[in-house]
Amino acid sequence: MTRSLSEEAYTQLRSMIVRLDFVPGDVLREDDLQDQLGIGRTPIREALQRLEREHFVNVVPRQGIFVTGIDVGELSMLFETRSVLEPYAARLAALRGTDDSWEAMEEALDRTAGASDGAELLAIDRTCHELMWQAAGNRFLIDTLDMLYAQSDRLWHLYLADVADPGHAVEEHIAILNALRSGDSDIAASLVNDHVASFDAQIRGAVTARLASPLAG
């Protein structure tokens, strides 16, 4: 029971950090989180320990638990890691994926027609990534990519949510799906690499623009 509650606490807290319910620099207090989530102290503590390992929070002895920011200098590390692992996952998925996987991805992409905002489109983008990771059939890869995507998702909310439409990113998944479905691992990997690079370019442009703004700082 404690393990499942820990997972629930982790999922809820990470989502709140990614969606900026908790913004960088916020202090997280265990008592407040227990009341807010309706989950006991031990699962909350285990969730916070996991979030610390994944760099979503920073525990400072005798000061507290703080929501981390993402240093601009870390953008290159995030991109270089995703640019290696995401195409690799695509290669595995093209070889191991089943018709069920691709039908599920097609159904997700069909929902773009009814999406009303960028948040819904981003959720569809995430679903497509998750289906590809699952098709790759490597749980260690899934866990790592899940964490990296969550950090990228947080960047979108920090820098792009008010100015960018992720619809183009979802459209890229149509070409990716066709490559995965055909079993062409080289094309699938190349398209996924381009997809990740496009997101990185948008984030870098948004960060540069914000830093250049006379209101920055």
61 falls within a domain: yes
The verdict on 157 and 121 lying in the same domain is yes
Q: Which two tokens stand for residue 70?
A: 């993402």
Give the residue from 10, 34, 67 where a domain finishes.
Answer: 67
The verdict on 107 and 169 lying in the same domain is yes
| Per-residue model confidence (pLDDT) at position 143 | 94
Long-range contacts of the stretch 37-43 (C-beta < 8 A, 24+) = 37/8, 37/9, 37/12, 37/13, 39/5, 39/8, 39/9, 40/5, 42/2, 42/6, 43/2, 43/5, 43/6, 43/8, 43/9
d(CA 106, CA 91): 19
Q: Answer whether 96's CB lies under 8 Å from 136's CB.
A: yes
The verdict on 88 and 59 lying in the same domain is no
217 falls within a domain: no
| Per-residue model confidence (pLDDT) at position 171 | 86
The model's pTM is 0.86
Nearest-Å Rg of the Cα atoms of the chain is 18
Range of the structural domain that residue 50 is part of? 2-67
Look at the chain and report how many structural domains it folds into: 2
Q: Which residues make beta-bridge pairs with 67?
A: 57
The verdict on 126 and 92 lying in the same domain is yes
| Per-residue model confidence (pLDDT) at position 215 | 55
The verdict on 11 and 63 lying in the same domain is yes
d(CA 119, CA 138): 28
Q: Which residues contact 65 (CB under 8 A, 6 or more apart)?
A: 27, 28, 29, 30, 48, 52, 57, 58, 59
Helix and strand numbers (H, E) in the chain are: 9, 3
CATH of the domain at 24: 1.10.10.10
State the 10-residue block means of pLDDT for the chain, 217 residues long. 80 95 95 94 95 94 91 84 97 97 96 81 92 97 95 87 75 95 98 94 83 60
| Per-residue model confidence (pLDDT) at position 105 | 97
Classify residue 178 by its DSSP letter.
H
The verdict on 105 and 29 lying in the same domain is no
Give the residue from 67, 98, 115 where a domain finishes.
Answer: 67
| E strand residue ranges, 52-108 | 57-60, 64-67
